[in-house]
Amino acid sequence: MPSSFTGKVAVVTGAARGIGAGVAREYVRRGGRVALLGLEPDELKSLAAELGDAADWWEADVRDTDAVQSAVDAAADRFGRIDHVLANAGIAAYGTVRQIDPGAFERVVDVNLNGVFRTLRAAAPHVIATKGYVLVVSSLAAFTPLAGLAPYNASKAGVEALALAYRQEMWVHGVKVGVCHPSWIDTDIVRGAEDDLPSFKAIRGRLPWPANGTTSLEECVEAVTHGLEKKKRRVYVPKGVLVANLTKPLFSSAVAEPIAKRLVKRTVPQMEREVAALGRSHSAHVPVTDAK
């Protein structure tokens, strides 16, 4: 059995399902121990039971500074150390800026951006003590903003900037910090959006590779776990997302604008109609750590 994480401990937020749960399983399979943080106690308890003595769980809302701090400190006490942190918790809401409920917009930013800040702040003394590694989950969306997903795009771009600043701050402490940029992964958050919004699926189908495809959860978990093991600066899932990073100025330039205009002329009104028809106060949340 692989043992690359023997003696190591990871804190994973958004651990109840999807990427977080998959990475937790793989981390334990490779000899490590994991602290599972999230807001779905039944799922967290089940996963911890599956992983045995190598795992424990804490119900913690990343929107709550005290709850995050308490959970991270309790995990350090329980396992004696923290070597890796995967700041993974995230949600999505859709609808155009003029349409989306303000509370939904603010909630996405609070979970996806402020929640990462709270996680990094709470974990800092523990990873400094072990000269550890932190991997922050951003997204392909940080490079390729799409109409109708403004809160998700903004929060993931902000997360990248936050992680890069935190990386510089941690240099003096011997802690390495990486940023993960998954494309569309076969998880609840993508399946839910495509089920709710046919226009979203249509828009994705017209985008250039890799934005027009879906990557398996297994491939994503392997890439993230490899990033944790090697303390990578960047983790792209799939690797072609690197191209989106390198071509980001072109994507938002006047050269690409005519193509984007043609794409959204029909799809944005259609998306607004679909969101309105959902009857969810013009917003929809797909939980990763949040079951509410």
Residue 195's pLDDT is 76
Question: Residue 280 gets which letter from DSSP?
Answer: S
Taking each helix axis from N to C end, the angle separating 41-51 and 18-29, rounded to the nearest 10 degrees, works out to 20
Catalytic residue among 27, 94, 133, 152: 152
Taking each helix axis from N to C end, the angle separating 188-196 and 198-206, rounded to the nearest 10 degrees, works out to 110
Give per-10-residue mean pLDDT for the chain (292 aa).
87 97 98 97 98 98 98 98 97 91 95 98 98 97 88 97 98 98 84 75 67 84 97 96 82 76 81 82 40 34
Residues pairing with 136 in the sheet: 87, 179
- Residue 163 tokens read as 């992680």
Residue 61's pLDDT is 97
152 is catalytic: yes
Residue 184's pLDDT is 83
CA distance 196 to 75: 37
Q: CB–CB of 179/164 below 8 Å?
A: yes
Q: CB–CB of 200/94 below 8 Å?
A: yes
The superfamily (CATH) of domain 9-278 is: NAD(P)-binding Rossmann-like Domain (3.40.50.720)
CA distance 194 to 192: 6
